[in-house]
Structure 1
Amino acid sequence: MLHFSILGALEIRTSAGKAEIPGDLQRSLIQVLLVSEGRSVSGETLAEEMWGDSAPDNQANALQAHISRLRRRLKSLEPDSPVSRLSTHPSGYRLTVAAGELDADEFVKKIAEAETLLAARPERAAELLRQALGMWRGPAFGHFPGGAVCRLAGARYEEQRLRAMELLFDAELRVGRHARILAELNEAHISNPLRERFCEQFMIALYRSGRQADALDAYRRMWRRLSDEIGVLPSPSLRGVEHAILSHAPELTPGDDCPVSQSA
């Protein structure tokens, strides 16, 4: 069994340890096959991902050579496997990856499971989300994002990572752990200054920590940033949190029977 990691620099691990995939073109090839989630990828797409506008004159032959090279490399990592993971189809090429072998797939599954548990079992949801976020070793694909297909996939995974952070903070707030996550929330808010949900959660955590003035100051700074940088007003949800803080709304009080909502 192999384990493929793309939540960070590309890694392939076997029972014996980390396996090297030498060369940028080989890394580009396996990355685009991995993010295609078991679907066939056309030769044209693979070539575009590997070479962009610098494709060689003998592009088809060059691609076939790289396919053969990767197939041999993967086979060498699983010498007892009766079939090749990398197969050829009329529509292109497909890499077979079983359940549990790709970190990005496991990351997405953990988020989905946590989301279903958030209302009824927020502590378990928080545990799953911390496990999921702990799978990241750096930006998707590290410092080698590849071509357009991989860059789009990387952006999609990054959005899911931010969503997982939002869900985690929601879960922690539901069980009254506002003090525990204040530093994490502050970092998330600073790192994503136009993402309003982090600001909402940060304001709630500050308010619950007895720092109402700081919570309202965070709102004012967010208001100015939204106005100055993109010319919009805070969303109804963010304005609702400010109003709830000013009126000391009971829904801001932590408790199992009083979950934090998007509209606070």
Structure 2
Amino acid sequence: MLTSTHAWNMDYEPAAEFGTGRQPRFRLLGNLEVWSADRQTEIRGTIQRTLLATLLAAGSRTVSVQSLVDELWAENPPATAENSLQAHVSRLRRKLHSVGDRQPLGLLSLPSGYRLLVTDVDVDALLFMQTVQEARRRAAVDPHAAVDRIRQALGAWRGPVFGGPMGGSICQAAAASLEAARTVALETLFDLELHHGRHSEVISELSALVESPSLNERICEQLMVALYRSGRQTEALSAFRRMRVRLDDELGVSPSPSLRKLETAILNHDPALHYGGDHLSLRS
């Protein structure tokens, strides 16, 4: 069972520049924000904010007129939806001119729809994905650098994508994809930390994530390994029991085979759980 992990206020490294030398202009990983240098530009109104969120969620791909109408007004579009959309696009285009402190921002009107031209370093969400992918590629060669980069990337998260539910299927799909990517980044981070003997150091982080409203069995497994390697076997088994109760109470399901297998490994003092062992082998 894998669900997104909502524990935003963790002590991750500041993500100010992601190593690029400049701040992203668009911030989606939390409340939707637009920045020009050190000044925030306010985008007011639900329609304007949803329009910007949708164009950013598309990642420089063209969004059709009908898709934008659906995203902005769902089942209750105005009678002159296309004209209203054109007016909102014009307003947003004028607003975005104020954040053209670097290369000009392009909000293109095309026969097939509209497209906002942005680069990976313009959008915190795109920069997050790029940074985590780079860190995962480097993990085998320089795991310590990979840990630092993942922590920097996670530091960009200020809350739920867009600050909470927004728009329709395009925004919701983008939010779900980013939430899933954050979960993968967290799991990768803690596997690296456990592999390099930082089991005691990550217990508080893992505990906070496991106790958050989300139910993530993979994070629970990592907490159990960290506790066991820190000489806290009883607490590791308690973490399993608490997760089992929550899964039953909240979802009506039993723990996954992987989580049950880890409980058995702890009870049997499996060598793979010792520092230097491969705890991931227990998942196969």
Instruction: Specify if TM > 0.5.
Output: yes
Q: Which residue of 2 is the match for residue 54 of structure 1?
A: 76
Q: Which residue of 1 is the match for residue 154 of structure 2?
A: 133
Selected match of 1:7 from 20, 24, 29: 29
Which residue identity lines up with residue 34 of structure 1 in the other structure? L
Q: Which residue of 1 is the match for residue 18 of structure 2?
A: none
RMSD: 2.2
Which residue identity lines up with residue 85 of structure 2 in the other structure? L
Find the aligned partners of 1:185 and 1:76 in 2 and give their Cα distance.
42
Residues 192 and 262 of structure 1, relative CA distance in 2, 3 Å threshold:
farther
User: Does 2:41 correspond to 1:19?
Assistant: yes
Identity %: 46
Which residues of structure 1 form unaligned runs of 5+? none
Contact 2:273 2:279 in 1 (8 A): yes
Between 1 and 2, higher relative CO (CA 8 Å, sep ≥ 6) is seen in 2
User: Does 2:96 correspond to 1:88?
Assistant: no
Q: Which residue of 2 is the match for residue 70 of structure 1?
A: 92
Give the superposition deviation at 1:108: 0.8
Residues 230 and 99 of structure 1, relative CA distance in 2, 3 Å threshold:
closer
Selected match of 2:65 from 37, 43, 68: 43
Give the superposition deviation at 1:88: 1.4
Which residues of structure 2 form unaligned runs of 5+? 1-21
Find the aligned partners of 1:242 and 1:136 in 2 and give their Cα distance.
32
Contact 1:236 1:263 in 2 (8 A): no
Contact 1:140 1:154 in 2 (8 A): yes
Q: Which residue of 2 is the match for residue 263 of structure 1?
A: 282
Q: SS at the partner of 2:31? A: coil
Q: SS at the partner of 2:211? A: helix
Q: Which residue of 2 is the match for residue 244 of structure 1?
A: 265
1:139-197 CA-partner distances (Å, limit 9, x unpaired): 11014623332122112211211221111111111111111111111111111553211
Give the superposition deviation at 1:80: 8.4
Which residue identity lines up with residue 67 of structure 2 in the other structure? T
What is the correspondence of 1:1-264 to structure 2 with a 5 Å cutoff? 3-78=25-100, 85-143=106-164, 145-191=166-212, 194-255=215-276, 258-261=277-280, 263=282
Give the superposition deviation at 1:118: 3.2
Higher Rg: 1
